[in-house]
Amino acid sequence: MRMKKVLVTGIVSKAGLAELEKKCEVTYSEIPFKRSWVLEHLSEYDGVILMGMTADKEFIEAGKNLAIISVNGVGFDHVDLTAAAEQGITVSNSPQSVRVATAELTFSLILAAAKRLHEYDSIVRSGSWVDVSEERYQGLTLDQKTLGVYGFGRIGQTVAKYADAFGMKIIYHDHVKLPEKVEKATNATYVEFDTMLSEADVITIHAPLLESTRGIFNEETFKKMKSSAYLVNAARGPIVSEAALVSALKHHEIAGAGLDVFENEPRVSEALRTLPTVIMAPHAGTGTVAGRQEIATEAAANIISFFEGKPVNVVSH
C-alpha cells in the first residue's frame, strides 16, 4: 500500500512534522511554494497542511484527490468549507496548541495598552521625558478592574485565568452561557453583550470570524464602552471595524487598544499606525518556538489520525 502524499503549503516548524514524515510522503520547503505551483501539483496529494495560503474554491477544485485539509492554526475562515464539503474533503484545525502562546501575547497587549508602554517607549526613545505625576500621562491599574472577554473558548478562558491572578473581575459574553464548572474554574460571570461593553475596563476578543461577529465592534459599539476602556484583539481583524476604532480613539470614546490582528492585514491603515494610544503586533500570537512546533505537531497529528480512521479536530466534512 503506497504512502499517503501530504503537501505543506507554507512555513511551519520542521520539528513538528517528524511523526508525519515517518508515516506519509511529505513535501515541504522552507521557501514557501508559490500558489501557482500548488494549484498545478495539488491533484497529486492526498492531504494538505494549510499554511500561508487561502483554500478557496479554486484551491479546492485543484485538489481533485484531496481527502483532508489540516489547518496549521485555529482559524479556518480562509477555507471554503462549502466547496470542501461538496468535494468530500474533511477540514480540521489545530485549536489546542495555540492556546497558551496566544493567551500570553493577549495579556501582554492588555498590560502594554493599559500601562501605555508604547507611548512611554516612544517618548523615552525620542530623548524626551514626562512627569507621570500628571494624570494625562497615567495608565490603568488592573487590580479590581473588570475584564470583558468576548468569546470564551480555550484562549479566552486562559486569558481569564491570567486576569484573575492580577485581581481582575471577569465577565464574558459568548453565543451560549458556559457550564457552571467552567465559570467556577475561571472565576467568570456570563453577561449580555451590551452589559459587557458598558461594564468592562478592558475588552479582549477571542471569537471566531463569522458573519455574526464580522464588524461587531463598530461605531455603535465603541459609544457604549467606557471612555477609559481599552480594546484588545488577538482573534481576527475583521471582527473590529478599523475605521470605527480609529474614530473612537481620536474622539476619546475609548482610551486605547492593543492589536495583533487587523481588518486588511498585512496592510494596516496609516490612520491607525499613527495613533500613539495603540500598540500593535504582526499577527504574532503563536510566534514562539514552542508554540509553532506544537501547532505543526497538532496539524500533522490531524493528518495521521485521519488516515488511521480516527479523525480529530474536524470542523467540516
Which residues have a catalytic role annotated? 236, 265, 283
Cell 500593535 sits on residue = 280
Residue carrying the nine cell digits 484527490? 65
3-state secondary structure of 23: helix
Q: Which helix (H) or strand (E) holds 101?
A: helix 99-114
Question: How far is the C-alpha of 236 from the C-alpha of 94, rounded, in Å?
Answer: 16
Q: Specify whether the CB–CB gap between 25 and 4 falls below 8 A.
A: yes
**Cα 3 from chain centroid?**
34
d(CA 39, CA 85): 19
What is the identity of the amino acid at 184? K
User: Burial letters for 36-51: b for 16+ Cβ neighbours within 10 Å, e otherwise?
Assistant: eebbeebeebbbbbbb
